[in-house]
Amino acid sequence: MVVFAHPDDAEFGMAGTAAKWTTRGVEVAYVCVTDGSAGSNEPGVDREELARLREAEQRAACEVLGVRDVVFLGIRDGYVELTLDLRRDLTREVRRFRPDLLVAPDPLRFWDDRRMYINHSDHRTVGQACMAVVNPDSSTRPMFPELLDEGFEPHEIPYLWIPMFSGDPDTFIDISETIDLKIQALRCHQSQIHDWPVDEWIRDRARERAEGLEYEFAESFKTFKLREREREEREREEQADESPAGSDAEPAEVA
């Protein structure tokens, strides 16, 4: 499940990875928090009309990427706050979809490395809300009992990935085979892209992320293995159960 603030955020951040997953048969869900209605500085733009346009653009991008499950929470663009209502709405979607992996914005990114960009407050706030969803909201039964009444049982998220545009990522995904899909999906957001040469910009950034690696283009992430210890213990127990009775052999090392 990929959670993001505005239509087009996911395409900029990790659409090459999303396309790689869907082409391999992985089910991917998108949750867009805002309506995107502040995505224009043109005089006279109607926010409601722009919101409808940006939702249509996001759905078109999902079609390109093979993302079939997309939810719009509809919070007014630029007005996202860290509220219990937001946490509840995100928890509902996580408990519904029950992802193995959650992709969420970086809650700590205030600016870029060159200090030429101040990160949008919506991005940070959605990231903060997602951290609360991971713990305690989605996994803890007493949190939001009304969701239990709706039929949404707690769900513990095994893996968390945060797209990294700079800084110190620990995971790089080869998107050489899907970068064209990433660009095609991004171009669906015509109200934002206009005539910007996005192809060149995306390729340059992806090439920078792949520097020193064995492939040309990459997206990068900071990753968290939240249930890894339990998985390793379970695998050790399963291997021990399969060992012959009385054997002195050590369990095989868990990868």
Domains detected in the chain: 2-228 (3.40.50.10320)
Of residues 18 and 253, more confidently modeled: 18
pLDDT level of residue 82 (50, 70, 90 thresholds): very high
Structure tokens at 247: 């054997």
Give the chain's length.
255
Q: Is 207 strand, coil or helix?
A: helix
E strands, 21-61, in order: 29-34
pTM for this structure?
A: 0.88
What contacts 207, CB < 8 A, 6 or more positions away?
216, 217
Query: Given pLDDT bands bounded at 50, 70 and 90, which one contains residue 117?
Result: confident
Residue 227: C-alpha distances to residues 157, 161, 230 (Å): 8, 13, 6
Query: Scanning the structure block, which residue is given the tokens 């969803």?
Result: 133
- CA dihedral sign of residues 49, 51, 52, 56: positive
Enter the DSSP assignment of 118: B
- Would the pLDDT of 70 be above 90? yes
Mean of pLDDT over the chain: 90
Q: Predicted confidence band at 255 (pLDDT cuts at 50, 70, 90)? A: very low
Specify whether the CB–CB gap between 97 and 1 falls below 8 A.
yes
Residue 219 has pLDDT above 90, yes or no: yes
**Burial class of 215 by CB neighbour count within 10 A (0 to 12, 13 to 18, 19+):** middle
pLDDT of residue 199: 93
Report whether pLDDT(227) > 90.
no
- Is the pLDDT assigned to residue 240 strictly greater than 80? no
Q: Summarize the confidence of residues 80-96 as an average pLDDT.
A: 98
pLDDT in tens, 158-196: 999 999 988 889 999 999 999 999 999 999 999 999 988
Measure the CA–CA gap between 226 and 202, rounded to whole angstroms. 31
